[in-house]
Copies of this chain bind each other. A is one copy, B any other.
């Protein structure tokens, strides 16, 4: 039997474990998995493009568990009151090939994205960072706010979105989190005086959400919204005077902010600073950028954590995702309820004598 976790189940798990403990555990798991990077087999995502959007399969394996995520991207969905991105994922046991977990990943992706941002910021932002600008208050924004509060103690948010409904939704969702939220009139105002700037707008075009002169020395930029070819948020000049950190350079050069730069432009992979092989922030006044696009190992980490927490909390239910006949060589036995429907003409069997 395979464990099935709906978004509701995942919310229940987070509730049982405690949101703060969940964030910290997820960040720990991500750190652990990024540091054993070479244990993972990854491959380019499989993408099926259509006029309306894209459907992708993202597989990875660490030799013990195989994971994949199904995820779409359909920018026009909002006009039908549908989500732009939905996702589900599965884990399987590499030793037997049997699936063990199937789960919603719309919520899980939001969690792993927030946790990866917080993990990077914990190593890149100035240690005394308390104020974060949050530019773009869409579906991912609260997850970023929660992750940075749980992991870095960021409790002061300077927020902006062109859509006032989004601002109000954000404030409503964050009402009981003990934060100070400062509504700003524009992105420039939000960025002003922030220790950390998180950009997370949805524009699918080369946009300049953050101009070069909006960012002061010592700032850490958590650039989450530029995550596919043709979609960026940061001014090129800003990139050129910053230290840039990425999940996996070949993928980020296609999908991230650095698609604006020369393919040889130096960047550092997150795993290198986690392992201590390369420095993170080199000075108090440096601008650091985490150019986040999302990577298959992050999906792996969150799926495995959810599998473990489902066991620990007893949340979720078992479904017969795969046929399990009593005798594995007798798959047809699963059809026996059909016998009633058969015409029941007797089959004659005889044994042929060898000539």
Contact = CB atoms under 8 A, between A and B. Distances in A.
Contacts of A88: 99, 321-322
A214 interface: no
Interface stretch (A220-228, A266-274, A280-288, A338-346): A338-346
A351 to B, nearest CB: 4
B347 A107 contact: no
Contacts of A183: 349-352
A48 B74 contact: no
Interface string A74-102: 10011011111111101010111111001
A48 B61 contact: yes
Main secondary structure of the interface of A (DSSP, over half): mixed
A74 B96 contact: yes
A77 B328 contact: yes
Contact of A18 (B55, B70, B341): B341
B176 A347 contact: yes
Copies of the polypeptide in the assembly: 2
B341 A19 contact: yes
B139 A329 contact: yes
Interface residues of A, number: 113
Given A104-B321, A139-B331, A328-B83, A350 B94 contact: no
B72 A97 contact: yes
Contacts of A323: 6-7, 83, 86, 104, 106-107
A354 B139 contact: no
A211 interface: no
Contacts of A84: 328
A145 to B, nearest CB: 9
A162 interface: no
Contacts of A19: 335, 338, 341-342
Nearest to A170: B332
Contacts of A107: 323, 331, 334-335
A330 B169 contact: yes
A108 to B, nearest CB: 9
A15 interface: yes
Contact of A96 (B82, B139, B320, B338): B82
Contacts of A180: 347-350
Interface in A35-70: 41, 43, 46, 48, 50, 52-55, 57, 59, 61, 63, 66, 68, 70
A337 B77 contact: no
Contacts of A340: 15
A275 interface: no
A73 interface: yes
Contacts of A248: none
A18, A175, A182 — which one has the most chain B CB atoms within 10 A of its CB?
A175
Given A15-B337, A107-B323, A330-B169, A55 B346 contact: no
Given A7-B323, A15-B340, A53-B97, 17 more contacts: A6-B319, A50-B61, A55-B94, A55-B97, A70-B90, A72-B97, A77-B328, A83-B325, A110-B332, A139-B331, A166-B329, A173-B332, A176-B344, A176-B345, A180-B348, A181-B348, A183-B352
